[in-house]
Amino acid sequence: MTITTTTHLNFHGDAREALAFYQSVFGGEVVIATYSDFGMPKDAPGALNVVFGQVDGGNGFRVMAYDVPGAPSGDAPAPRATRRENGVTTTDQPFFVSVRGTSLGEVQGYWEALAAGASVVEPLAASAWSPGFGMLTDRYGVTWVVDVAAAPPAG
């Protein structure tokens, strides 16, 4: 038996825009179904919001998203904070989305695309544990860790 885990992101009216952005970064196909597709009257508030959305990059990247029902567009909760102070990264985020590759060249393009309009917590650079590690919070409030898989320890 095999299982797959997929990050599911919750938005407040901008899930469609976020999914399009993630598709522009990682490629692949976007699937979107709206509340009206599932029977909500098209003129009801929120009917065109996303009830199911997914980007499947075909390269191992997959993310799902939807617009929280009943939340007015643009009325998102206060953003959570992730920051680097005195050499330590602190956060009140419940999770990060991790994108890991096998070389710095492989992840550099993803980093550059995600960084557009983002708040960089830690620039993508070599670290004590990886040939490349960076952290940012994108324009939609999602914190991403982009890194290069380190070689396993010898021995």
Contact 106, 149 (CB under 8 A): no
Angstrom CA distances, 152 to 43, 46, 126, 130, stand at 56, 49, 16, 11
Q: What is the pTM of this model?
A: 0.83
Mark the ranges of the chain whose per-residue pLDDT is less than 50: none
Q: In this predicted model, what pLDDT tens digit does every residue of 47-84 receive, in sequence order?
A: 999 999 999 999 999 999 999 987 555 555 566 677 77
The CATH number of 82-148, from 3.30.230.70, 3.30.43.10, 2.40.50.100, 3.30.720.110, is 3.30.720.110
- What Rg do the C-alpha atoms of the chain give, in angstroms? 17
**84 has which bridge partners?**
89
- Structural domain boundaries of the chain? 7-67, 82-148
Burial category of 70 from C-beta neighbours within 10 Å (exposed 0-12, middle 13-18, buried 19 and up): exposed
| Architecture, CATH, for domain 7-67 | 2-Layer Sandwich (3.30)
